[in-house]
Amino acid sequence: MIHVSNEAAVWFKQELGLEEGQAVRFFARYSAGGKLHPGFSLGIDVDQPVSPGIQAEVEGITFFMEAQDMWYLDGYHLNVTYDPQLSDIEYEYEAAAPN
């Protein structure tokens, strides 16, 4: 599951110059650090879904992760929020309830 707060969606629209109908892809990328998987972190790109594993529409923008990247969130939900003190977004990983 993915949840993007309205404030975070507005941030994405402003920072990336997005218009209604566009989409933001979250994907696993090689990187130092990373909260869930050492050597990987969450990347973003303006793209359209091809085979989304999860998606949500907020403020007219589709936020999604392709099926091939879902391993990154295995066992977790992604919450994207806006921190007004930092003027930036934050990613929070919430443990999913076991099936």
Q: In this predicted model, what pLDDT tens digit does every residue of 6-32 receive, in sequence order?
A: 999 999 999 999 999 999 999 988 766
Average pLDDT, integer, range 46-67: 97
Pick the closest to residue 48 from 67, 69, 27, 22 (CA basis): 22
Say yes or no to pLDDT of 99 above 80: no
